[in-house]
Amino acid sequence: MADWQSIVDEHGGLVWQIAYRIVGNDADAADCFQEAFVTAFEMSRCERIKNVKALLGRLVTLRAIDKLRHRKKMSGLITRVHDLNDLCSEGPAPAEHLQFQELSERLRCALGRLDEREAEIFCLNCLSGLSYRQIGKQIGIKTNNVGVILHRAKEKLRVLLEPETAIAEVRCTHE
């Protein structure tokens, strides 16, 4: 049986980064982090895990996409609280920070509108930096199919993120 504390120590940082990049807040990232490790632990009790890092990356990506979909459904009930310390820090100007936050939220909303496989492949490639080949091995499809699905996902995101689309639609967090 694997030493799960050492697995968490070794892969925890990566799993957290993936979750946070997708969901954009600590609470949801923490949920995704925990759910990914619990699921991996449960899976390890039934079968041998060949690549723990890849499994955790995939599990946390799927959990984070699920969180985005749930957030979209519950968006009328959720209000976003901005940390004033972020706005007062020596980072980007407040206007730039707010533009980045708005774009990030629009991307999260758009990811929640993609087909589950498209969103997963987009996140694994663009946010986690996996190659087409690595993604194909991880989810069990051909490398060429990864490219096709990723292309479709990017095209859909391009349309969803166009300024005209943003103006025509109510923002995701207020639907």
pLDDT digits (tens, 9 = 90+) for 130-168: 899 999 998 899 999 999 999 999 999 999 888 755 444
| 36 three-class SS | helix
**0.75 surpassed by pTM:** no
Give the contacts of 80 (CB within 8 A, at least 6 positions apart). 105, 173
Tokens read off for 33: 């982090």
Domain containing 9 equals 4-174
Interatomic CA distance for residues 138 and 134, integer angstroms: 6
Interatomic CA distance for residues 59 and 124, integer angstroms: 11
Predicted confidence band of residue 173 (pLDDT cuts 50, 70, 90) = very low
pLDDT digits (tens, 9 = 90+) for 52-83: 998 999 999 989 988 888 877 666 444 444 44
Tokens read off for 21: 């990049």
Provide the number of structural domains found in the chain: 1
Q: Which pLDDT score, from 0 to 100, does residue 77 have?
A: 46
pLDDT digits (tens, 9 = 90+) for 8-57: 999 999 999 999 998 988 999 999 999 999 999 999 888 888 889 989 99
